[in-house]
Structure 1
């Protein structure tokens, strides 16, 4: 692997920034100052140090974000903040992207990675990956709605796969309720459209889990962290190299 690619993959900077860093003699390879970006190194054996910090190569990285409202699940946008704007430079240099999407006003769990195979596997309709949501709803959902979700809600353009609707609480005075909804697809505005088809309206929506990953209770809205070893192990069920 070229030294400049290694440094970029380790989050040191962009290719242009890395060239400048090398010219400033801030990188050593096996104890020797190195200034050539074209140097071929063995990323698993050679010792590369930048500003007194030994670098470890990571081909793939995984971040769990508690998405806030008002940002979009994209890598760039001319009108809104994106989830990448919430990350630090190291994370952005890894060229991560969101696995799936959440609407701009939907909050909660979002996985970001640069592992395209894993993203494809988790989003594949054949995998039937559960996505679980907590929703506040205007209108009272009842047992008839539960049965309709189990059967599969029919929308204008497609029929949803069977889903689970659990009624958590009901406020008759305010004419609203709180529900838990689990779907296996991720169509555009799907949860909101399913609820709307039953004559109710989603007021707020938060994703609590996706497949084996759950939203940590101690991760504040807008914050993110790397996946734990246990969480990474749970992703091995998708059969791709991590």
Structure 2
């Protein structure tokens, strides 16, 4: 049974300071399972208790998990003086501090990259999934500047499968790219990239997260990425029903899928 103090819960659910919460309790406006509670230090079972404030039921949750279909031209940052951020796309009612902590991005996508982005308050899960030793696979739908012959496509697949050296980019060092999986889009796998608006030529799965990695990998092949969308993280796929710039909370099953990756 996971319990938390009433004043802590209300403070983290946007009801002001603990001093204000104490006042609300003393005014007889707080009920747990239909029973008035005047003690702000009372313990609440987050998983089963029903909490109401002045007749309004409060949704109790320790952590928040969001799946977003990130659009271009927004950045994965809390604040940015030049661009909109992914947090600007989220309803203000979800931006308060939860019991688990502050809402943050589980990894980042570049400003011109679309697709699957997880935002959560669960710092422990984020740490486990992003740890270098975890090697959670991430799949991207990629559109390329140059069209290729079948022979060239086969060559790309073999090179990516073995891993190869990627040159430095500005202040970022070069690195030995780990083996990855490159699949050219055909009628058989088109569904996996169906929400890429027909802009993707291939699906690339990588097992690390270097700076601008996908773009730099294809640049090493003398080609250029002109469209990039993350469609999968581990076993969790982007819900094709989520439109660009929109989001929804993860289901319990999806949270379990992510947790199993770590």
TM-score by length of 2: 0.78
Q: Out of 65, 68, 72, which is 1:69 matched to?
A: 72
List gaps (5 residues or longer) in structure 2. 168-173, 187-198
Residues 148 and 8 (structure 1 numbering): CA distance in 2 closer, same or farther, change over 3 Å? farther
Task: Give, in angstroms, the shift of residue 50 of structure 1.
Answer: 2.1
Residues 14-163 of structure 1 mapped to structure 2, 5 A cutoff: 15-16=16-17, 19=20, 27-30=29-32, 31-32=35-36, 34=38, 39-44=40-45, 47-93=50-96, 94=98, 95-141=102-148, 142-156=153-167, 157-163=174-180
8 Å CA contact retained: 1:139, 1:177: no
Residues 189 and 22 (structure 1 numbering): CA distance in 2 closer, same or farther, change over 3 Å? farther
List gaps (5 residues or longer) in structure 1. 170-175
Partner in structure 2 of residue 173 of structure 1: none
Q: Out of 156, 164, 168, which is 2:181 matched to?
A: 164
Residues 203-218 of structure 1 mapped to structure 2, 5 A cutoff: 203-218=226-241
Residues 224 and 144 (structure 1 numbering): CA distance in 2 closer, same or farther, change over 3 Å? same
8 Å CA contact retained: 2:75, 2:84: yes
8 Å CA contact retained: 1:64, 1:226: yes
Residues 225 and 149 (structure 1 numbering): CA distance in 2 closer, same or farther, change over 3 Å? same
1:194 aligns with 2:217: yes
CA distance in 1, matches of 2:68, 2:200: 27
Partner in structure 1 of residue 243 of structure 2: 220
Task: Give, in angstroms, the shift of residue 207 of structure 1.
Answer: 0.5
Task: Give, in angstroms, the shift of residue 73 of structure 1.
Answer: 1.1
Residues 139 and 83 (structure 1 numbering): CA distance in 2 closer, same or farther, change over 3 Å? same
Number of residue-to-residue matches in the alignment:
228
- Deviation per residue, 1:59-89 (Å, 9 max, x gap): 1111101101011112222222111111112
Task: Give, in angstroms, the shift of residue 227 of structure 1.
Answer: 0.7
The more displaced of 24-33 and 62-71 is: 24-33
Partner in structure 1 of residue 203 of structure 2: 180
CA distance in 1, matches of 2:207, 2:5: 42
Residues 130 and 27 (structure 1 numbering): CA distance in 2 closer, same or farther, change over 3 Å? farther
Task: Give, in angstroms, the shift of residue 145 of structure 1.
Answer: 1.3
The more displaced of 116-125 and 202-211 is: 116-125
SS in 2 for 1:159: strand
Task: Give, in angstroms, the shift of residue 33 of structure 1.
Answer: 7.0
